[in-house]
Structure 1
Amino acid sequence: MSEQLSTLAEQLLDAARAAGADTADVIVVDGTSVSIDVRSGALEQAERSEGIDIGLRVMIGQRQANVSASDTRTATMQQMAQRAVLMAREAPQDPHIGLADPTQFATDTDTSRLDLFDPSAEPDPADLQDAAARAEAAAQANAGISQVQSASASYGRRRVHLATSNGFSAGYARTGHSLSCVAISGTGANMERDYDFDSRVYGSDMRTPEDIGAQAAARAVARAGARKPKTGAYPVLFDERIASSLIGHLLSAVNGAMIARGSSWLRDAMGEQVLPAGLSVIEDPHRTRIAASRLFDGEGLPTAKRAIVDNGILTGWTLDLATARQLGLTSTANASHSTSSAPSPSLTNIALTQGEKTPAELMADMGTGLLVTSMIGSTINPNTGDYSRGASGFWVENGAITYAVNECTIAGNLRDMLMRLTPSNDAQSHLTRVVPSLLVEGMTLAGD
């Protein structure tokens, strides 16, 4: 299959040259996905998709255009190239676009060492249905559950090939297995919902359906009787499940596209302290069996481990070639390239320094405050970092959970919040964002 994808990529590049493009790059994606949903022990929905997508970006001088299709016939590719060239000739000039110099291209492109492809046979739909049904049954076995909203199992396989008109050509393959369950406790206006899931590259690494269903049920039952918390200024402990969203706001703010536009609340923070001393944010694209890992980025540059925040100090932006040129810097090999759009900066695997204390020990330290386990809505000012989100979770008194909480709002400023956080030690190492529970002092809560 990799040979077929590389052949298609070369054919499309040839078509672009023939149509008049100065330079071009191509991305070809072939994939299969299967998804099974179960309700009340019976099959509710089954979906399967297979297909191939091709994307072409052409450049004429400092003008570019991107086109995509799912038809790989020679005539279609020729038409794509011709249309792309016509579009590029009418596009506005951008002095920052352009392919990498061939000397910049990755030479180590054998992604097999990252172990991203499960070689076992594609799961039979009956096996996926059985896994979803087992998760649902495990959730329903909890007497406090009134219904299981959904139980779903899925599998996906994806092969990608990137080629440029100046010599780069390489690809990789990935697989993904996932299982989720959403359970509901209570009835009517007193219903509370929670979930659990697992997602891995290898099916053999998955947790059992029974564990996922039971955990979803236990979480939903624990939320029974939720009410609004007190209004005031309190410490907030972000549960591991949602703590990565807090670090995600920092990562979004150091994205090169935001910096180049001047629309980031960290736009002037290079070299400044943005996290407490001792905490670092490390990107490592080469972790094995992790879905976001890659040896080269969407522009063919070699990826490498780097510190985005080192001992609390912001050390760099997340850059592709265009944003790097705009800022007068060097690409960090963070280009993401889809069939339907030009490259843009994005991250791979991120890890925040873990702390030494368990979440229970952090709760004991916080005394009185809020443990947040889920959030809804989002009001984040990208220019100032002002933060406000709807939240639910559990009220903590004297270091212990006392009752479930819903319908409240937590607010603060991200620059201040990040400087007041304390990490726990419960991060999950198989995730693409390895972030533990995070305690943030002095947030504003709006409840009763």
Structure 2
Amino acid sequence: MTQSPEALCHALIDAARKAGADAADAMAAEGSSLSIEVREGKLEHAERSEGTDLGLRVFVGKRQALVSSSDMRPETIAAMAERAVAMAREAPEDPYAGLADPSQLAQDWDLGALELEDPSGEPEPAALQADALAAEAACHDIDGITQVQSAAAGYGRHAVHLAATNGFSGGYQRTGRSLSCTGIAGTGTGMERDHDGDSRTFQADLRSAQDIGKTAGERAVARLGARKPKTGSFPVLFDERISSSLIGHLMSAANGAAVARGSSWLKDSLGQQVLPETLSVIEDPHRPRISGSRPFDGEGLPTRRRTVVGNGVLTGWTLDLASARKLGLESTGNAARGIGGVPSPSTWNIALTQGGASREDLIAQMGTGLLVTSMIGSTINPNTGDYSRGASGYWVENGEIAYPVNECTIAGNLHDMLRRIVPANDARTYLSTVVPSLLVEGMTLAGN
């Protein structure tokens, strides 16, 4: 009989104790996924997977080791524990390693309020295929589309449990439903492609296949005839599709692990202005039906709503237990971990204050500049915040979109860029990272 993730975790903990561990925590994750891809009106690929994975971390004094497996047999669990303890005894000491104090642990939570799991269950493969075919057909219907590169639909269910010798034991399940389409316009060297997609916890919230296919096609056609933009200093508007990357760089620099290593361009900015004073960044891990929501973190601490940036001022770091101990602070309940890795700091659901202007208003306001809709590559200096990325999108002249552009580079410094961003009001509030289009004045463009 297959054991539950909870039972597997407690079996791992018991085995670790018997093997001589002073302390231990265990994770078990089981899940299944189903994906369907279509091409030219026919099934191209279908895949179903199921699996269970186990992870065990043990402590011998201040020495730790971690092992993982997908074998649930009792003899394997015992061997995992013995191997982990032997490894820990040979590992160097880490003064910051260790489990949470029982007083720090999450005590109770309301999984129902988070709505992490769609009760409608797994869709039939035929339903996924029908959605993919509908998206492909809608994309094909757009004038100028020469082929649909891919149309895919998927479903996944994931259950995870965490238990530790400090008394914590908790778990939850989540589901996900996705649909995507990529269209190609033009021929030969003039081909352009673009895509659209959606991913939700609940099937009922997913955008329609027709809308996704149509948008993918329209985006691809709009890119036809792209050319390089001018070289110089111009305003750059980061489209809502990719603007979250800017706030992502801010969150990475506010990560406690990077700060503790001294490798963050924000390391001396605590309590200082990092965004315009009208803007804040709020983390809320308790939003219903959102992929980043969770009742507790990877070390069993309660998650909570917190202000990362308040009225433009950086108020704190993102911390797990180890990084908090290194910095002489308290964990913020932001430990993330996988089956085969130790905890590390990570943010959950992030939202930037939205502005009062539409994207069209900002396009009109920028006069002449670049609207970026996609980016490739990344050169970010973690110590200085120097920023350079390949970009494509649309050239704006006299406040209106003039023509598509590609093969250009945008550059600046994140310290300066973030302090002068101007947000639009177009963020999709159902995403885990809610960031509107962002206008940045005076960036360096390298094109013609």
Q: How high is the TM-score relative to the length of structure 1?
A: 0.99
- Pair 1:299-2:306 in alignment: no
How far did 1:138 drift? 0.3
Aligned equivalent of 1:242: 242
In structure 2, how many angstroms separate the alpha carbons of the residues matched to 1:274 and 1:159? Answer: 38
- Asked whether the equivalents of residues 22 and 60 of structure 1 are also in contact (C-alpha less than 8 Å), the reply is yes
Q: Secondary structure of 1:79's partner?
A: helix
Q: Which moved more, 1:364-373 or 1:119-128?
A: 119-128
Q: Secondary structure of 1:338's partner?
A: coil
Aligned equivalent of 2:173: 173
- Asked whether the equivalents of residues 2 and 161 of structure 1 are also in contact (C-alpha less than 8 Å), the reply is no
- Asked whether the equivalents of residues 37 and 43 of structure 1 are also in contact (C-alpha less than 8 Å), the reply is yes
- Pair 1:345-2:335 in alignment: no
Aligned equivalent of 1:286: 286
How far did 1:2 drift? 12
Any idea what the Cα deviations from partners look like across 1:20-70, whole Å, max 9, x if unmatched? 000000011010011111111111111111010010000001010010000
Aligned equivalent of 1:20: 20
Amino acid corresponding to residue 439 of structure 2 in structure 1: L
- Asked whether the equivalents of residues 109 and 170 of structure 1 are also in contact (C-alpha less than 8 Å), the reply is no
- Asked whether the equivalents of residues 2 and 171 of structure 1 are also in contact (C-alpha less than 8 Å), the reply is no
CA RMSD of aligned residues (A): 1.1
- Pair 1:138-2:138 in alignment: yes
How far did 1:143 drift? 1.7
Aligned equivalent of 2:78: 78
Structure 2 unaligned blocks of 5 or more: none
Q: Could you say if the C-alpha distance between residues 3 and 279 of structure 1 is closer, same or farther in structure 2, counting changes exceeding 3 Å?
A: farther
Number of aligned residue pairs:
448
In structure 2, how many angstroms separate the alpha carbons of the residues matched to 1:108 and 1:121? Answer: 26
- Asked whether the equivalents of residues 277 and 312 of structure 1 are also in contact (C-alpha less than 8 Å), the reply is yes
In structure 1, how many angstroms separate the alpha carbons of the residues matched to 2:250 and 2:83? Answer: 39
In structure 2, how many angstroms separate the alpha carbons of the residues matched to 1:3 and 1:238? Answer: 48
**1:107-122 superposed matches below 5 A:** 107-122=107-122
Aligned equivalent of 2:126: 126
Q: How high is the TM-score relative to the length of structure 2?
A: 0.99
**1:252-401 superposed matches below 5 A:** 252-401=252-401
- Asked whether the equivalents of residues 154 and 177 of structure 1 are also in contact (C-alpha less than 8 Å), the reply is yes
In structure 2, how many angstroms separate the alpha carbons of the residues matched to 1:383 and 1:85? Answer: 37
How far did 1:109 drift? 3.0
In structure 1, how many angstroms separate the alpha carbons of the residues matched to 2:311 and 2:143? Answer: 48
**1:29-108 superposed matches below 5 A:** 29-108=29-108
**1:228-239 superposed matches below 5 A:** 228-239=228-239
In structure 2, how many angstroms separate the alpha carbons of the residues matched to 1:14 and 1:121? Answer: 34
In structure 2, how many angstroms separate the alpha carbons of the residues matched to 1:288 and 1:437? Answer: 24
- Asked whether the equivalents of residues 232 and 446 of structure 1 are also in contact (C-alpha less than 8 Å), the reply is yes
- Asked whether the equivalents of residues 307 and 315 of structure 1 are also in contact (C-alpha less than 8 Å), the reply is yes
Aligned equivalent of 2:251: 251
Q: Secondary structure of 1:113's partner?
A: helix
Q: Secondary structure of 2:241's partner?
A: helix
Runs of 4+ that moved beyond 2 A: none
Aligned equivalent of 2:444: 444
- Asked whether the equivalents of residues 26 and 55 of structure 1 are also in contact (C-alpha less than 8 Å), the reply is yes
Amino acid corresponding to residue 41 of structure 1 in structure 2: G
Q: Secondary structure of 2:158's partner?
A: strand
Any idea what the Cα deviations from partners look like across 1:209-261, whole Å, max 9, x if unmatched? 00000000001111110000000000000000000001100000000110011
